[in-house]
Structure 1
Amino acid sequence: MTDATAEFFDALSQSGHEPLLEKAKGTVSFELTNGTRVECWLVTLENGDVNVSRKNAKADCTVRVNKDLFEAIAAGQANAMAAFLRGEVAIDGDMELMALFQRVFPGPPTKRPRRQNGGSVGRSS
């Protein structure tokens, strides 16, 4: 069984620089709960430069979420902002930082196949 959470954070860490986060500066702590167990990830953002660690440290923004739900978010099967609006994700601190960070979560799998020739989809003239 793959761990979508570890894959997500590993890929983010390996990227080193994420263009979608060039306006972000600060730290985001993710506290993933599974019963009484808490798994912590700390993401440091500096104008697109990204550093990921397993530290449990004070951050500008702290996100608390059930591990299973975060797995779905990291796999593109659930939307972080929709889960927040439903009260399934708790966010403390810098909400703007989290709004910027959520851009790097994968979107849902596409149901429509992409055109191979690069042409537009839709009506033809």
Structure 2
Amino acid sequence: MATTASSYLEQLDTSRSFDLPETTTGTLRLDLRDDGHTEHWYLTVAGQHLAVTRSAEDADLIVRAARSVFDELVNGDLPPGTAMLRNELTLRGDMRLLLVLRRVLPGPKGARHPRELGRAALARRHASAGRAASGGRDDRP
């Protein structure tokens, strides 16, 4: 079952490190529009810590989209950049804070962290080098 943007934000693990630079500070307001109603979520970032509340206060970066677009974003079905290019996601304010949004949202389905891919490639390289050093023999029982 797909996650809704509201339930994702309610359950967001604010103790989790989002790999943000320690100097990142600012506020984001997410405006989820649906049938003439707007739901506001307020994210405060300071020193790699994130706080999520419900507020319509002004923020350093305001991100607006239809609720269905935010639902796609939190399910990894739509990257934020693609939504911006399609004009489904609009931004006003400090664009540097878009990094925060990208780190808070899950990546595409099936995506892996680049470090994980690098470690796997390195392990394969070491394994093939070990086989080459042993003359191609596989000494496993």
Provide TM-score, normalisation by structure 2.
0.72
Residues 37 and 110 of structure 1, relative CA distance in 2, 3 Å threshold: same
Q: Post-superposition shift, 1:30? A: 0.3
Aligned-partner SS, 1:78: coil
Instruction: Answer yes or no: is the 8 Å Cα contact 1:41–1:55 preserved in 2.
Output: yes
What aligned pairs does 1:3-22 form with structure 2 within 5 A after superposition? 3-12=3-12, 14-22=13-21
Rg bigger for which structure?
2
Name the structure 1 match of 2:139: none
Q: Post-superposition shift, 1:70? A: 0.4
Structure 1 outlier segments of 4+, above 4 Å? 118-124
Give the whole-Å Cα distance in 1 for the aligned partners of 2:32 and 2:88: 12
Q: Which has the higher contact order (CA 8 A, sep 6+)?
A: 1
Instruction: Give identity over the alignment, percent.
Output: 27
Name the structure 1 match of 2:36: 36
Backbone CA RMSD of aligned residues: 2.5
Give the whole-Å Cα distance in 1 for the aligned partners of 2:65 and 2:73: 10
Gaps of 5+ in 2: 112-118, 129-141
Instruction: Answer yes or no: is the 8 Å Cα contact 2:5–2:71 preserved in 1.
Output: yes
Provide TM-score, normalisation by structure 1.
0.80
Gaps of 5+ in 1: 112-117
**Larger proportion of helix:** 2
Give the whole-Å Cα distance in 2 for the aligned partners of 1:26 and 1:86: 26
User: Aligned residues, how many?
Assistant: 119
Give the whole-Å Cα distance in 2 for the aligned partners of 1:110 and 1:85: 23
